[in-house]
Amino acid sequence: MMEGAVVARYTLRQLAYFVAVAETGAISAAADELRVSPTAVAAALGELERIFDTQLTVRRKAHGVSLTPAGSHLHSRAAALLRDAEELELSAAAGGTELAGPLLVGCYLTVAPTILPVLLEGFTAEHPKVQLDFVEGTQDEVQERLFAGELDLAVVYDMDLRPGLGSVLLYEVAAYALLPEDHPLARRDKVSLAELAAEPMILLDAPPSSHHTLSLFEDAGVSPLIRYRTTDFELTRSLVGRGTGYSVLVQRPAVDASYEGRPVVARPIVPAVKPIAVRMIWPEAIRPTDRARAMVEFAAGAVPAALGPPRTQLK
């Protein structure tokens, strides 16, 4: 042993038990998650408090466990140390030559059909030992899970983002008007929001998409006549295909037809509206894994290349 080296008196197992208690809020729940006895979890907490010579938790019957200020500090440091230990184990098993281990990516709902297939197919082909998985959700949901350490990365619109995020630009895209095939304005090459304002609108009411759409009308000095609100991208397009109204969307499928196969027509908006950026994000306070860093690099190159030329209308 190197002279002067400090040997830790605590174990990674004890830290894992403590982190489980901190995140579940109860010794019994942590024991169930870890598949050990509550006595073992309680003993680990007691030993850590003895080693650090400070109270880490406050235990109340019927109210679970809460952390003291010292416990909150240890929780953040211990969680980071456990992640580093897991990374060391994965790296050592692969001999440092190949990425391996889990990678969980969150994605905003309407962006997912455009982005996730590119990432899942391409990244898995380059790094077959990485267990890549994904979750979909609203912008708020994926950001919350990202800061909670439940996700490694997320793909979102560059809108309503919280402070403390690192990011890389994947692409930019401008909103467009989606019209029924037989709508009079569908014969135009371009349409204005002022022309659309008096028509019945199908609003994709999934923030930040709805915030963005309504801000476009506000900037144009007009108010849309909202007939229906939906939270589903394909339902919005299906209602347009049925002729119940128009919509303003950002993501555009490769084929201009609704889920039912009814033709729809996409038209640029004039005056031109400011494009919205799509970014891959991560919390700056949490050091990304080698797998996450590789995904960021891959996405920054593969996503723009995969989007290809502008979509064409179904004939």
Q: Per-residue pLDDT tens for 128-178?
A: 989 999 999 999 999 999 988 889 999 999 998 999 999 999 999 999 999
Q: Give pLDDT, residue 313.
A: 35
- Cα of 311 vs its chain's centroid, Å: 26
**Out of 77-81, 151-155, 174-178, 186-190, least confident range:** 77-81
Q: What is the maximum alpha-carbon separation in the chain?
A: 84
Mean pLDDT of 238-260: 94
- Cβ-contact 225, 254 below 8 angstroms: no
CATH fold, domain 175-274, is D-Maltodextrin-Binding Protein; domain 2 (3.40.190)
What are the residue ranges of CATH 1.10.10.10 in the chain? 12-93
Whether pLDDT at 289 is above 60: yes
Four-way CATH pick for 12-93: 3.80.30.20, 3.40.50.11290, 1.10.10.10, 3.40.640.10: 1.10.10.10
Whether pLDDT at 264 is above 90: yes
Flag whether the pTM goes above 0.75: no
How sure is the predictor about 312, in pLDDT bands with cuts at 50, 70 and 90?
very low
Mean pLDDT of 252-278: 93
The b-or-e profile of 15-51 (16+ CB within 10 A means b, else e) is bbbbbbbbebebbebbbeebeeeeeebbebbebbbee
Q: Tell me how far apart the alpha carbons of residues 311 and 256 are, in angstroms, rounded to a whole number.
A: 8
What are the residue ranges of CATH 3.40.190.10 in the chain? 101-172+280-307, 175-274
Q: Per-residue pLDDT tens for 217-247?
A: 999 999 999 999 999 999 999 999 999 999 9
- Amino acid identity, position 288: P
DSSP three-state, residue 229:
strand
Q: Which of 269, 265, 238 is nearest to 173 (CA)?
A: 269
- Cβ-contact 231, 153 below 8 angstroms: no
Phi then psi for residue 119, to 5 deg, are: -70, -45
User: In the sheet that 130-137 helps form, which strands lie side by side, from edge to edge?
Assistant: 130-137, 101-108, 153-157, 276-283, 165-173
Mean pLDDT of 26-37: 89
The CATH code of the domain at 101-172+280-307 is 3.40.190.10
